[in-house]
Amino acid sequence: MIALEGHICMGFVFFVLGFWHLFNYLKLHFLCSSNTSLPFWFPTKISRYLELYFIVASCAIFSAAEIFEASSNGTIPTNHIHQVEHTSITLSFLIYATFAIILDTKKSTITEKTQYEITLLLAAIAFGQEFLLFHLHSRSHMGIEGQYHYCLQVLIMIGFFTTLMGIGFPKSFLVCFLRSVSMIFQGLFIMFMGLVLSRPGYQPKGCFLEYEGDQLMIRCNDEKAMHRAISLVNLQFSWFFIGITIFVVSFYLIMAIIYGEKVECDSLMKEEHYGEDDGSKNFDVESHIQMITTNVM
């Protein structure tokens, strides 16, 4: 898969999932009590597993495109090594989504609390895999591309830590909110990276694309142009941060106007104490939460 298309596809998936989660978490925030345990994925009217199917399909298509392109003679060409690294990332998220579906179908044999925690652990492993591969990948790409990858690693680590924190703080709106925003940020930044690193004309002044062997790399005319370009990457990341902050806070206010501070779930909280002795407290209201979220579609 061509580098630009690969970045666009991966970034688009992160953006869609991040926005979908942000919308649903805000909706639950305004409709439900703060004592409600928040789900990690959301069912819809169309299909209970539509979100997870979307992840599985996207990752499978992306991985297949990379693998078939890279293994025509049974080996991995040098110029496709990094694409295969990206495939490893998508496979880890495919594994998460697949097992999330399987775990959800085993509610009769696995407690909802355990199912929830294992699902989050699988997602955290996927984020950890993504961070590790981008970290190792960036060690062979210094300069502008390395700086983009460094900024991206910050966003990945936010997703990793907030996912792990969700295990210990399943009712924390801020943890879920921050994770959703980081996914939106990550998706937009990956798509922007694809343009800068793969298409002529999007590079900073004094820099250009050229092939180094079979690899397309960004090169600059001199050290001054390189330092300027790296500083510009930092500015771009900062501008993205400011823009996304304005967007998510504005979206929060819009959702507040639409839904307001309602108490639709408050009466449901009276049922949450039945499981205090076996550690399943609060998870009995999951079906009620899902009933609210499925009204979206």
Q: By residue range, what is the domain housing residue 151?
A: 3-195+261-289
SS3 label, residue 297 = coil
The verdict on residue 236 lying in a domain is: no
Count of other CB atoms within 10 angstroms of residue 96: 26
Global confidence as pTM: 0.84
Residues 85 and 128: their CA atoms lie apart, in Å, by: 14
Q: What is the mean pLDDT of residues 170-199?
A: 93
The verdict on residue 297 lying in a domain is: no
Residue 277 binned pLDDT confidence (cut-offs 50, 70, 90): very low
38-52, 75-89, 130-144, 154-168: the lowest-pLDDT one: 75-89
Question: Higher confidence at residue 87 or residue 240?
Answer: 240
Q: In this structure, which amino acid lies at residue 271?
A: E
The verdict on residue 225 lying in a domain is: no
Could you report how far apart the first and last alpha carbons of the chain are, in Å?
32
Q: What is the mean pLDDT of residues 232-249?
A: 96
Residue 271 binned pLDDT confidence (cut-offs 50, 70, 90): very low
Q: What is the mean pLDDT of residues 94-98?
A: 96
The verdict on residue 240 lying in a domain is: no
Q: Residue 52: pLDDT above 90?
A: yes
Residue 283 binned pLDDT confidence (cut-offs 50, 70, 90): very low
The verdict on residue 173 lying in a domain is: yes
Q: Residue 160: pLDDT above 90?
A: yes
The verdict on residue 247 lying in a domain is: no
pLDDT, tens only, 124-142: 999 999 999 888 877 766 7
What is the DSSP track for 174-193? HHHHHHHHHHHHHHHHHHHH
Q: What is the mean pLDDT of residues 31-55?
A: 89
Q: Residue 266: pLDDT above 60?
A: no
Query: How many domains does the structure of the chain reveal?
Result: 1
Tokens 């805000």 identify what position? 26
The verdict on residue 239 lying in a domain is: no
The verdict on residue 107 lying in a domain is: yes
